[in-house]
Amino acid sequence: MRRSRPRTEREPTTALINIVFLMLIFFLVAGTLAAPLDPRLSLVRTAEIEGAAPADALLIHADGRLSAGAAPVATPADYLATLPEDARARIRLVPDRDLPATLLVRTGRALRAADAGEVVVVTERGLP
């Protein structure tokens, strides 16, 4: 009689491969949902900030110009006039990295004076 070798159980790698594949598909889809920003704009870096996607944000360029998407905006009040009433409750402000802080504060105050609800500054998350 022959001795039978003890069988070693193989780990189920198929389930692990399926999970990794599903995660890859999820991140590919989630990464393409946000509209791209103006490529000439470089974001401010901060660490540990809770942010929101700036799909409908007011952009402030380094020289103080305002734009919404690709369209130029003259003043913060003009930007608010283009928004529906419910969108004025939370305004996303995306400053250029080289924008002076005084212009950022002045624009935020102008938005609040023009009856904006909450003004949120969107920045780039810094590496730990």
Residue 5 lies in a domain: no
Give φ, ψ of 67 to 5 degrees. -150, 150
CA 50, 56, 91, 99 dihedral sign is positive
Specify whether the backbone of 18 is left (phi greater than 0), alpha (psi in -120 to 50) or beta.
Answer: alpha
Q: Report the C-alpha gap between 77 and 48 in whole angstroms.
A: 31
Residue 127 has pLDDT above 70, yes or no: no
Residue 120 has pLDDT above 90, yes or no: no
Domain, as residue range, for 88: 45-125
Residue 9 lies in a domain: no
Residues facing residue 95 across a β-bridge: 60
pLDDT of 14 = 83
Residue 86 lies in a domain: yes
Residue (of 14, 10, 63, 55) closest to 33 by Cα position? 55
Q: What is the pTM of this model?
A: 0.55
Residue 34 lies in a domain: no
Q: What is the mean pLDDT of residues 96-117?
A: 90
Residue 110 lies in a domain: yes
Residue 63 lies in a domain: yes
Give φ, ψ of 125 to 5 degrees. -70, 130
Residue 16 lies in a domain: no
Q: What is the mean pLDDT of residues 49-71?
A: 75
What lies within 8 Å, CB to CB, of 63 at 6+ separation is: none
Per-residue pLDDT tens over the stretch 15-58: 888 999 999 998 888 776 666 677 787 777 766 655 444 557 88
Residue 7 lies in a domain: no
Tally the domains of the chain: 1
* Chain centre to alpha carbon of residue 36: 10
Model confidence at 9, pLDDT cuts 50, 70, 90, reads confident
Question: Where do we find the tokens 């996303």?
Answer: 92
Q: Report the C-alpha gap between 83 and 90 in whole angstroms.
A: 11
Number of residues that this document lists for the chain: 128
